[in-house]
Amino acid sequence: MARRKAAPRTIQKRDRFKELRLQLGKTQRALSMDLDITESFLRELESGRANPEITFAFKIARYFGTTVDDVFQDLAN
């Protein structure tokens, strides 16, 4: 039986993502430019319709000056 290739591990966001953006006074446009992503993808992240890969989650946490745990909730737990 052939093994399936594992999908990249993703994590689910909490409402904290938008809260952190608003605390910085950033618009979705400004934050998407800072993170080098589209506004559409940012809206999907904030609404929970999209989940970032682990490496991008760390980039987001560094941007906000906090931990991945503070911004996101690991679905594996």
What would the pLDDT profile of 16-61 be if each residue is shown by its tens digit?
888 899 999 999 999 999 999 999 999 998 887 888 899 999 999 9
Residue 7 has pLDDT above 70, yes or no: no
Q: Does 11 or 44 have the greater pLDDT score?
A: 44
User: 42: how many CB neighbours lie within 10 A of its CB?
Assistant: 21
Residue 2 lies in a domain: no
What is the residue range of 46's domain?
Answer: 12-73
65 closest CA partner among 37, 41, 34: 34
User: 59 in a domain, yes or no?
Assistant: yes
* CATH label of the domain that carries residue 63: 1.10.260.40
Residue 38 belongs to some domain of the structure? yes
Q: Within 1-77, where are the H helices?
A: 16-23, 28-35, 39-47, 54-64, 68-71
Tally the domains of the chain: 1
Q: Is residue 6 part of a domain?
A: no
64 versus 10: the higher-pLDDT residue is 64
